[in-house]
Amino acid sequence: MTGSALPRLLRPRALRPGDLVVIASLSGPLHAAYEPDLKQAVVVLERMGFRVRRAPLLEAGRHHWWSAARPAEIAEEFNGLLRDPEVRAIIAHDGGQTALGYLDLIDVEAITADPKPILGYSDISLLHLVLYARTGLVGFHADLATPGLGGHWQAAPAARQAVLEQLYSRLLTDDEPIGALPATPSWECWRAGRTEGRLIGGVINRIVLTQATRFALPLEWFDGAVLFWEEMGGQASYVWSYLQVLRHSGILDRISGMVVGIPHAIDGLGTPDSSPTLPEIVLDVLGDRDIPVLGNVEIGHAGPNLPLPVGIRVALDSQQEQRSLSLLEPAVCRSR
């Protein structure tokens, strides 16, 4: 896409009962130990009313280095799914470290011709951000198949599973706005306020990496946006550094609000007398930027995930008494 005006959103066609959802290796490999989790993910998707197929590269034990296959092979399979009219949605089996290797090989014309929901988080954040930048596609920052639907969902209480299943089903099949996402007591007010804006985000290190490529989102697209991010692994100081990059790039001066996911396996967070908490890191970098910040939300590696559609307009209320995040627009359209 050219120019810096906000993109016209490219919403996928709403799924219907019996539509085909394909689980694909868009990044990391499938380890044999997680085959039962993958099978459970299929059960969840079938219970939602979809047919499910595994893409050929999703084979236990298949790998190239840290990836399911060479980047060009993953791109070839991904493009085949994008071009196949029978395939109505693609969900990544897992995250990993591969999407950077094939960002330039994706058939964006196939996406504009027949946009489909692409679901995932972690490394898949790169795909959501880059495809939004290049086509306006609404990306579904949502649970991965194997560690998510087949893992975190199964460990959650039955009532939460039911809520998530209904939420994901509605998001994929209903062309009416979802409204308020189901809040939990973990949500925290880190800076009080209210705002509305388009959702942009993902894993914070992937946001930074995306902006370092030629597929970066124009800076103007962050004007008034609600930035959401999460992180797993590494050091607390890395998070502070990534936020500083967003400050130096001008992104923090343009956004109108922030949603922060539950941190996962980050070393050096909140160690007594020696390390800051995540809210302290965020507020330190934000400085006097008076924008609402809602923290400790279930988006990302801590799972199970609330789905956040990239590009969709949301209402954020981080005040202590409210703490709500509402999807004001549908993520899919009825016909195309």
Known catalytic residues are 122, 230, 301
Are 59 and 69 within 8 A, CB to CB?
Answer: no
Pick from 186, 179, 189, 185: nearest CA to 319: 189
Please state the separation of Cα 138 from the chain's center in Å. 10
Sign of CA dihedral 95, 116, 209, 284: negative
